[in-house]
Structure 1
Amino acid sequence: MAISFDLESEILKEHSKRQTVKIVSWINGDETRFAQLMQQFLCGEPRIVQRSSWIVSLCIENHPSLIKPWLSKIVKRAGEKNIHNAVKRNVVRALQFVDIPRSQQGRAANLCFYFLQNVGEPVAVKAFSMTVLANIAVQEPDLKQEIKLVIEQMLPYGSAGIQSRGRKVLKQLS
């Protein structure tokens, strides 16, 4: 790709997996390029924020260390009122791939518990939240009982996706 890569234009060009992968490939673990993406994610207009969240998620999946300086900001962003479901979904999806530092675990856990207990949240947001909480519980075993309780309350009324992920996470926590 050319040196004059205009990230905002590329994000707005087309909302497709092909375009998303193109941008992820351009970033390719580069902290400076990822910082440019994070500026779009944190400060862009709503459509740019929504589209960039998918790119952020894939970048973090491929290079989890990229999130370190941005972790508190993306957790805060996902918890904002009226934020698009795609942003919530992609942030919580990304958190699955990260070893969340103890200093950030409380905020991340609170966000995930909120998503799990909010009836209106999409299935994917809840499923990813379960996994993030289970990952945090590895370092904070005291959370296991609370996580189990919340998931067990959801299972009888949850969708197939919630039930499947819930059973998997409950097994992991046992």
Structure 2
Amino acid sequence: MESLRAGGILSGRVASIERFGVFVALDDGPDHPVFPGVGFIALPELSWRRFETASEILHVGQRVSCVFLQFDTWNGEARLSLRATQPDPFQTFADGTAVGKTLQGRVTKLVPFGAFVQVANGIEGLVHLRELTRTPVETPEDAVQVGDKITVVITEIDQERRRLALSRRQVSPALD
């Protein structure tokens, strides 16, 4: 493992899926007290898209190739990233769009401060509560429901933090 450098590719089979991440039995890996030659993929490193459980992305026995991030000497395992093997869909989306662009989207989640809207495959943005309607509302449920198709305008693209701010209020001439 000492010869490995960050960014190298390691392959293996998914050995175990846990609520906190995925263990991979590596083809060539370090010794581990429980799983010899184990790598670990933390949940945020599984996919660029949002998911509820790791089993939506992988299954036990599946072969994977991952980017090596670092060696965890405390746990004796290689830290891996599956998502680093794929282009970031947010960056691709952000490169092809601009603030002020009007888009159609579907409400995917309601939170106390607004609604998340999917505007492209794997791309969601937040419509803050104050941007949901032209007149103030107390909760997002007062304006939209999960599954609603709405028209929004991009108000901010933060590529570094991978965040998209949207407004339904600023759509011309009227709301959906």
Q: TM-score range with shorter-chain normalisation?
A: under 0.3
Question: What's the TM-score, normalizing by structure 2?
Answer: 0.25
Question: What's the TM-score, normalizing by structure 1?
Answer: 0.25
Counting strand residues as a fraction of each chain, which structure ranks higher? 2
Counting helix residues as a fraction of each chain, which structure ranks higher? 1
Structure number with greater Rg is 2
